Amino acid sequence: MIHRAFLCLAMVALGACEATNQVADNIARERAKSVVNTVVSERFPGVNAAPVTDCIIHAASAREIVRIAGASVTGVTPEVAQEVVGIAQRPEAVQCIAANSLTLLGG
């Protein structure tokens, strides 16, 4: 009986950790998106930044997202902007951006 109770408690704790991690990930992604939107808007004026931003965020690693999200507090440095541009040049980001551009153009 005690073993079962411990197992149930452990499962609840793991579920809570997973929920906390998901919340933290969502916050980091939202902050990173605001930074990436700023970089895309500055580097490519006139481009709809939102779909490009989504592609860049999707292509970024968790570590990169956290680093970029930090710039929402400290400000966008040239290094952060270069990191965003570098991620945008990865094959998966380029393919995503191209696919979204065609969709936006009705293609």
Q: Taking the domains of the chain in order of start, what are their residue ranges?
A: 25-106
Tell me the two tokens of residue 94: 């380029």
List Cα–Cα distances, 67 to 29, 75, 77, in angstroms.
Answer: 11, 11, 11
The set of residues, in sequence order, having a beta carbon less than 8 Å from that of 55 and lying 6+ positions away, is 88, 93, 96, 97, 100
- pLDDT band at 35, cuts 50/70/90? very high
pTM to 2 decimal places: 0.75
Query: How high is the pLDDT of residue 10?
Result: 46
Compute and round to an integer the Cα radius of gyration of the chain: 18
